[in-house]
Amino acid sequence: MACVIAVAVPSSAAGATTTFQNPSPVTIPVSGSATPYPSSIVVSGLQRGVSDLAVTLHAFSHQSPIDVGSVLVAPDGRAMLLHFCVGGNTSISPLTFSLSDAGASLPSGLTPLAAGGVYRSTSHGCIPGLPDFPPPGPGTNYANPGPHLGGTATLIGTFGGADPNGTWKLFVADFNASSAGSVAGGWSLTLTTPDPPKADGTLTIDANKGKVVKGRKVTLAGRLDVPSNEACEPGRQTQIQRRLKSEDDSKFATFATAQTDATGSYSLKVKVRKTFFYRAVVADTGACEDETSSSQKVRAQKKKAAQGA
């Protein structure tokens, strides 16, 4: 009597942090929009669902930092003011600082920025309203971190859950015609997103207690459950791998591929001529990671021995 050996292919979920950088300088004029405007970073290969992010300005210098503002725009159009009216009105040499929800509020008025500082996005009231970033910037259509005008926006509150893939834009401008500066080292964007999901599935071997008559066929079958994630694309396959009984796991090699049907099921028959260890690798043509089942042995025996077992 045949039995079915079922082996689950587990899934896991955690977080991955990735930094993307555009090292090209951003030149800040005495007044008006910086060059380039915007400075862009293209993000690809990440899972949907931003859970944390930070922006770093590299080698920022200005004769009056308080004049400068910047706004970040995500690929889906979400926008937030990163800083405005902060850092004092005395010249600073190139320094690098980051904007993160985990940081302290940016100092107001005449307090200078600290090299290597990590600050929360902050806007103080140098002007009656909000700074206007002209087209192709967002104007004043962005989230305001405040405290100016009662703003309370945060980075994760603004961009949390977004699809990070696409073009992120940093718009920088000087709002007081008095002095110039630059972000000589460009800027970087650090994103935390879910790890690529792992497809769940099973490998079943239709064999008599793992034994089969030499030269006969056994059915390898299973089901692949597709993770509920838009980054995982259809067209998944299950690779069936095997190695000889005398070999170690490094010798596993794919010898057959089973395409899943619309329900995620697959099935194929293989002829067993020798004793092999089999395993299934859930392979994906999209953004899901591959996952490997544990191995199962199928012993090829002479007809009499197999029937009597």
pLDDT(266) > 50: yes
Q: Does domain 197-308 have CATH number 2.60.40.150?
A: yes
Which CATH number applies to 16-194?
A: 2.60.120.260
Q: What is the pLDDT of residue 306?
A: 47
Range name among 165-169, 192-196, 217-221 with the lowest pLDDT average = 217-221
Q: How far is CA 233 from CA 11, 68, 84, 228, 260, in A?
A: 17, 43, 41, 10, 13
pTM over cut 0.85: no
The domain segmentation of the chain, as residue ranges, is 16-194, 197-308
Is the per-residue pLDDT at 174 higher than 90? yes
pLDDT in tens, 50-108: 999 999 999 999 999 999 999 999 999 999 999 999 888 888 899 999 999 999 877 66
